[in-house]
Structure 1
């Protein structure tokens, strides 16, 4: 059983790789004028749907939904980056090492929730005022805090998806795209969760971002702090469940690889 100190050390060392990967993928110029602008344009595109419908309430609904969904689009990139070791020739070393695989991979792709925190915060704070949503100064730190927790919680969910993609690495981008689309569709971003059949609503409640989005909407509506905290609590509970499943899944994938029943090289 890995100790908290060992887990923290593993995550810290793996995060060094994550930071290096982010520096290879983006410079500050390409991140700012490429990736960020791309996500903001995507958000504006979806938000304009609400304007075209002509319903002010729906406009608010979809603007906030589109803003929070930028974190899903970005954190889901961890599905692909988890498979990079297979194509870089380092998977054999990881399989042979005594490291707890799920803990390592949690740190391995931390660049995505870190970047998602920045992009989602900017999208949530900068774009909605153009659609009639005015934030009070005291709401800003609360919103940023919710964004941080939403990105990390969604990342915990992504880790389970990534463990499957690690086995089916050739389909990693397809798995990521399908997962992202499904989460955006049923989490209440574009249409209310109640729009879907009851079984789909149950699935939506298992998604951390569903509750993160509910917390953001509660802040916008001026709901009591207890309502915001309740949504955040449900989000963290869902994240803990997803992360626990991800740790077990990674352990099983590596156990099969170490016994020769499921090669990862």
Structure 2
């Protein structure tokens, strides 16, 4: 009979599981897209979406509104894409692999978290290209400092938003039929209250407080500070990125904890993982 200590020694590390799951996720991404289908399909759609919001500012006859909407939506298209973490977490139930995952000796959270990293490179590229191309197409000349701010804010925002999406995916794992609704509601609420389309200060104070739970609220506010204030605003910008990462890390830990609780419930039979 194999002892519990022997099982623990044979258990693969969480880091190794995460790395292998991330490799599988990237394989899924390559299956879903070629470079041509991604650029001519997904990316072009996102560029048109950002340009659409810029046209709203044009109708308002306000150059400030145009720039505000272009920057907000340009960053947010990647955030909306990374909310697919919610769906991809629930896909394991449909694929039939969940019983194997919960009975395996390793932890389950690195599997779900690693598989969902497939959205990160696409979301980062989508936001970065949107921010670099669409404002320039509307006649906005960007300084080297502003370009550097884009390069910094995009990966920080996407990674932190990925961490935020993980606990929602863990909750939806119990009710996989809710996955699309949960993802759509989440990114639509963020688009409304996080400063993407209107300033956060536009909303009543309770809504402003609620907006602080989302990582993109802080990174977008920091980016707008740099775009409005020049080099003197870089210390607050760097602080906003640190807050964004810390908030994303906190949500990631919550998501990992929820995934482990789900696995424990599945092992003791309180959740039917065959449905």
Q: What TM-score comes out, normalization by structure 2 length?
A: 0.91
Q: Which has the larger radius of gyration?
A: 2
**CA shift at 1:100, angstroms?**
2.3
Task: Return the match for 1:211 from 215, 218, 234.
Answer: 218
Deviations 1:129-167 (A, max 9, x none): 123432223432332121011100000001011111211
Q: Which residue of 2 aligns with 1:180?
A: 187
Q: Which residue of 2 aligns with 1:95?
A: 102
Distance in 1 (alpha carbons) for counterparts of 2:27 and 2:106 = 20
Matched, 1:45 2:52: yes
Task: Return the match for 1:255 from 223, 248, 264.
Answer: 264
**2:106 counterpart SS class:** coil
Matched, 1:60 2:70: no
Task: Return the match for 2:92 from 68, 85, 90.
Answer: 85
Q: Which residue of 2 aligns with 1:143?
A: 150
Matched, 1:246 2:261: no
**CA shift at 1:228, angstroms?**
0.7
**1:264 counterpart SS class:** coil
Matched, 1:153 2:164: no
Distance in 2 (alpha carbons) for counterparts of 1:6 and 1:150 = 28
Q: Which residue of 2 aligns with 1:22?
A: 29
Could you tell me whether the CA contact under 8 Å between 2:89 and 2:169 is conserved in 1?
yes
Matched, 1:34 2:17: no
Deviates more, 1:147-156 or 1:124-133: 124-133
Could you tell me whether the CA contact under 8 Å between 1:135 and 1:220 is conserved in 2?
no
Distance in 1 (alpha carbons) for counterparts of 2:252 and 2:53 = 30
Distance in 2 (alpha carbons) for counterparts of 1:143 and 1:149 = 10
Task: Return the match for 1:228 from 237, 252, 255.
Answer: 237
Distance in 2 (alpha carbons) for counterparts of 1:72 and 1:250 = 22
Matched, 1:264 2:264: no
Distance in 1 (alpha carbons) for counterparts of 2:207 and 2:139 = 31
Deviates more, 1:233-242 or 1:28-37: 233-242
Regions of 4+ moved over 6 Å: none
Question: CA 1:6–1:139 in structure 2 vs 1: closer, same or farther (change >3 Å)?
Answer: farther
Distance in 2 (alpha carbons) for counterparts of 1:96 and 1:108 = 18
Could you tell me whether the CA contact under 8 Å between 1:46 and 1:62 is conserved in 2?
yes
Q: What TM-score comes out, normalization by structure 1 length?
A: 0.94
Distance in 1 (alpha carbons) for counterparts of 2:147 and 2:63 = 22
Distance in 2 (alpha carbons) for counterparts of 1:146 and 1:264 = 39
Aligned length: 262
Distance in 1 (alpha carbons) for counterparts of 2:159 and 2:141 = 26
Q: Which residue of 2 aligns with 1:111?
A: 118
